[in-house]
Structure 1
Amino acid sequence: MFKTALIAATTLAVLSGAAPASAKTEINMWFGLSGRLQKEVLAQCDRFNQSQNDYHINCTREGSYDEIFQKAMAAVRAGNQPHILQVVDRGTGTMMLSGAVIPAYQLVEETGIKVNWDDYFPVIGNYYAGRDGKLWAFPFNSSTAMVYYNIDQLKAAGYDRFPETWEDFDNLLVALRDKAGSKCPVAWTIDLWSDMEQFSAIHNIPVATENNGYDGLDAQFEINKTLFVKHMERQKRWFDQGLAKYDPNVDTRRDMFVNGQCAIFFDSIAGFTTTDELARPKGTHWTVAQLPHNKDVTPINSLVGGAALWTMKGFSKEEYKAVAAFYQFIAQPEQQKLWSDGTGYIPVTKSAYNDLVASGYYQQDGKVNRDLAVKSLTRATPTPLSKGVRLGNYVEIRNIITEEIQKALNNQVTMQQALDAATERGNQLLKRFADTYQGAKLP
């Protein structure tokens, strides 16, 4: 765990001293984005380096989200952690209790930079904040889940607009198969971010007790008791009836979509730019819609996904000034707009989003409906159950839940049995996390 690793590393860390005045202060950032997104991260780091003469940031991809998380643990033990670490949303609780980070609000206080905390969209800021509302990490690549659909294939199925409810979505899949002749109405995989977390938030139902872990480390999973069970049974019916083509690789699902093989797939809004680049040469007409909701339900906000930037302990005051300068740079509206345009991620600040709206950005060719992601995130004031999931060992637990659901898809168990087993195994890891941090409280 990070907590133990940090204790072992403290004697190795450089705690004071500044770089020579004649040299630029260098800092390091590890991130986990790949492909086009990796190029955009490197471009943003280069823009920062070119914008001033005092600091230089080295940005390095260190594997996937889960891989970078594990590498960071080893790096802390060895005392060679980066200054900035990109951590996926589900790692927030672990990072807060790790003892290895300097909270964002504390870094701001110590370095004196100016940050308008109120400019962050509440649903984004709250995800990375303690119960007092103070942010522990700087939101970086923020997104939410969307439905990507082929406009022409929906018309062939008799639909001129995307359905708002899951019940109507089921009917759409059948129409795509029977009326439009689609052999792949939806390209699908088990995606707990979309299937479990987003679904639960939109329907204001719990993933776990203690307000999804925000209120205590003694949280227990409740995914085997809520509407989520029926939702996964629904998706298994797609699988059984040949309405869904299963593929765990998002790039493969996207390829099947842009080639016209599949009419629908689910993905982060961050995939918008990549999808557009692939679809244009093929003449595929597509757009996005918000995730459906159950009938007779008033949907609330979807969840923010993506990752945030965490500041690691063990460096000099001058290095932390460089870190703060980088955070201040990427928060500028112009940088937010460049980042959003190049990646598909949403701006994390209201000012940057409002600037894009005022400029007519979302009316431009290839940009239409991208703002539906922001509207999905902000269509209601977040409730205690829709502001996020904050559970320890959550990276490992999500793998366990996926593993158990896979057994149901293979007809080894029922979906209820799969989620019962996932709940039991997940609760064991939650208890292990609570025992590791016995007596501790989430901020």
Structure 2
Amino acid sequence: MRFRTVLAAAILMAASAGSACAADAGVEFWYGHTGAASAAIQTLCERFNSTHAELLPMRCIAQGSYEQNLQKTVAAYRSGKAPALVEIYDVATPEMLNSAAVLSLEEFLQAWHKVPQDRLLPAVAAYYNNADGTLWAQPFATSTAVLYSHADQLAAAGITQAPDTWEAFGAALVALKAHGSKCPSVTDFGPWVWLEQSSAVMGAPLLSKDATQWVFDQGPHLRLMQSVAQWMADGLLIDQAATRSGGQELAFASGDCALLVGSTGASKLIYSADSGDVNANFLPVFAGQQRAASLPGGAALWVLRGQSEAQYQTVAEFLMFLREVSVQTLFSQATGYLPVTQGAAAAALAQLPARNATVVGLNTLALGHEAKAFEVRPGFTTLLRLAWQQQVWSALARQKPMADALHEAAQKGDALLRLFENTYGPSATNKGVKP
């Protein structure tokens, strides 16, 4: 009842500001995709509008990249012109949880008497919960990291299976190069894979237990990145910029490179090359480590304040529409993103080959009950990624040892944690649960 009162007040305030005029134009949903993913979203919106003619139409508007969409959303909210529904990428979750701009998804759906028949995957939903377990956003364009391999190239080099440890990964790179490969593996050296996802599956915390310090400058991550630097120096791990295509997914899909540590979200592009020998595999861990779950990446849908009752009615119906198994399946097949409901995931697991990226991605997310990489979800992760990337590149360019580079990145990250606390309050970081 309390939320209904708050929601009603928000609706009255929106109406007094002239939101009824905006309602006549439909309900805006802003998202951060281009290309095939954008086309798939437009297809979903057209399908929804055609089957819900009694509601205000959903207007799905591309706003460029994830970062551009976030920036435009902030500006629009401040000016009183925000959309009703917005897609925000995973690392901005703490900022969204701590903002006054969003409505809790769980309470919003309850207010509109919506009870989803197909529950979200626990591993994915948990990322968008707050500390008391309330779901604040609906997972949408979800992905995780896997190891892609060309089985034929591995076999030609005498490798019988894709490497499941980093030691085996290094040995495979050496064997591939010895067999004549000019690109045993390709990468963009992005932090999402090499810092966050790799640490998650290794069960290596990135933050101290009290969430006051970054600790990736020691332990498994330091060991991995020192190996990465050596692999690059030896011509075994190739920067995507040095490939013919200039992009890691295209370089792998074309067969120029044998291995790729990448996103399940890239699978649509990778499989489009139709090489026939592509397998997806779990990310490697070091020998002796107990494998843990990977992290859900991608983006989720957030309901913003300040809309009319009619607009919110459309939003509630649209969110339920997106959870339908047929819709989940359609979107996953069109984009490569993972289904996020239990029914749709079960259908994918039953229908797709065992080494398909969707199957492997769903299975790696389900390993164990929780990922250990983030004991508490940190704020300003986007800026931490930038600091990590800048320092790692300086180490890869042999300007400093990798240990020094990671230590400097961690120190910059610690300063960002303090800044986040000063911005949102000392307990802000603890609003995130263990994803």
Please confirm whether the aligned pair reaches a TM-score higher than 0.5, indicating the same fold: yes
Structure-to-structure mapping, 1:426-437, within 5 angstroms = 426-437=413-424
SS at match of 2:170: helix
Aligned AA for 2:199? S
Given the alignment of the two structures, is residue 378 of structure 1 paired with residue 366 of structure 2, yes or no? yes
What residue number does 1:56 align with?
Answer: 57
SS at match of 1:398: helix
1:321-350 alpha-carbon deviations (Å, 9 max, x no partner): 111111000011111111111111111011
Are the counterparts in 2 of residues 128 and 137 from structure 1 also a CA contact under 8 Å?
yes
Change (3 A) 1:160 1:210: same
Are the counterparts in 1 of residues 88 and 299 from structure 2 also a CA contact under 8 Å?
yes
CA distance in structure 2 between the partners assigned to 1:161 and 1:55 by the alignment: 53
CA distance in structure 2 between the partners assigned to 1:169 and 1:275 by the alignment: 20
Are the counterparts in 1 of residues 19 and 307 from structure 2 also a CA contact under 8 Å?
no
Change (3 A) 1:13 1:274: farther
Change (3 A) 1:388 1:35: farther
Report the Cα offset of residue 132 of structure 1.
2.0
Report the Cα offset of residue 302 of structure 1.
0.9
Report the Cα offset of residue 160 of structure 1.
2.4
Are the counterparts in 2 of residues 187 and 262 from structure 1 also a CA contact under 8 Å?
yes
Report the Cα offset of residue 18 of structure 1.
8.0
Report the Cα offset of residue 284 of structure 1.
5.5
CA distance in structure 2 between the partners assigned to 1:210 and 1:25 by the alignment: 49
Given the alignment of the two structures, is residue 246 of structure 1 paired with residue 239 of structure 2, yes or no? yes
1:77-127 alpha-carbon deviations (Å, 9 max, x no partner): 21111111111111110100011111111211222211258x211110110
Given the alignment of the two structures, is residue 255 of structure 1 paired with residue 243 of structure 2, yes or no? no
Are the counterparts in 1 of residues 240 and 251 from structure 2 also a CA contact under 8 Å?
no
CA distance in structure 2 between the partners assigned to 1:13 and 1:87 by the alignment: 25
What residue number does 2:85 align with?
Answer: 84
Aligned AA for 1:291? L
Are the counterparts in 2 of residues 186 and 265 from structure 1 also a CA contact under 8 Å?
yes
Are the counterparts in 2 of residues 13 and 79 from structure 1 also a CA contact under 8 Å?
no
Are the counterparts in 2 of residues 123 and 387 from structure 1 also a CA contact under 8 Å?
no
CA distance in structure 2 between the partners assigned to 1:18 and 1:246 by the alignment: 50
SS at match of 1:55: coil
CA distance in structure 2 between the partners assigned to 1:71 and 1:266 by the alignment: 31
CA distance in structure 2 between the partners assigned to 1:388 and 1:142 by the alignment: 21
Given the alignment of the two structures, is residue 188 of structure 1 paired with residue 181 of structure 2, yes or no? no
CA distance in structure 1 between the partners assigned to 2:344 and 2:384 by the alignment: 35
Structure-to-structure mapping, 1:32-431, within 5 angstroms = 32-53=32-53, 54-115=55-116, 119-178=119-178, 180-210=179-209, 213=211, 219-247=212-240, 252-277=247-272, 279-280=273-274, 283=275, 285-358=277-350, 361-363=351-353, 368=356, 370-383=358-371, 385-386=372-373, 390-431=377-418
Are the counterparts in 2 of residues 105 and 134 from structure 1 also a CA contact under 8 Å?
yes
After TM superposition, the score normalised by the length of structure 2 is 0.90
CA distance in structure 1 between the partners assigned to 2:198 and 2:99 by the alignment: 29
SS at match of 2:59: strand
Across the aligned residues of Structure 1 and Structure 2, the Cα RMSD in angstroms comes to 2.5
Unpaired segments ≥5 residues, structure 1: 1-9, 214-218
What residue number does 1:6 align with?
Answer: none
What residue number does 1:5 align with?
Answer: none
CA distance in structure 1 between the partners assigned to 2:85 and 2:266 by the alignment: 24
Report the Cα offset of residue 46 of structure 1.
1.3
CA distance in structure 2 between the partners assigned to 1:355 and 1:285 by the alignment: 24
CA distance in structure 2 between the partners assigned to 1:403 and 1:378 by the alignment: 32
Aligned AA for 2:172? L
1:24-50 alpha-carbon deviations (Å, 9 max, x no partner): 771111111222111111111111111
Give the paired residue count. 416
Are the counterparts in 2 of residues 356 and 362 from structure 1 also a CA contact under 8 Å?
yes
Report the Cα offset of residue 388 of structure 1.
7.1
Q: Which moved more, 1:313-322 or 1:91-100?
A: 313-322
1:124-160 alpha-carbon deviations (Å, 9 max, x no partner): 0110001222111001111110111111110111112
Unpaired segments ≥5 residues, structure 2: 1-9
Are the counterparts in 1 of residues 267 and 357 from structure 2 also a CA contact under 8 Å?
no
Change (3 A) 1:254 1:325: same
Report the Cα offset of residue 355 of structure 1.
2.6
CA distance in structure 1 between the partners assigned to 2:375 and 2:67 by the alignment: 19
Percent identical pairs in the alignment equals 30
SS at match of 2:215: coil
CA distance in structure 2 between the partners assigned to 1:113 and 1:19 by the alignment: 24
CA distance in structure 1 between the partners assigned to 2:397 and 2:13 by the alignment: 49
Change (3 A) 1:284 1:342: same
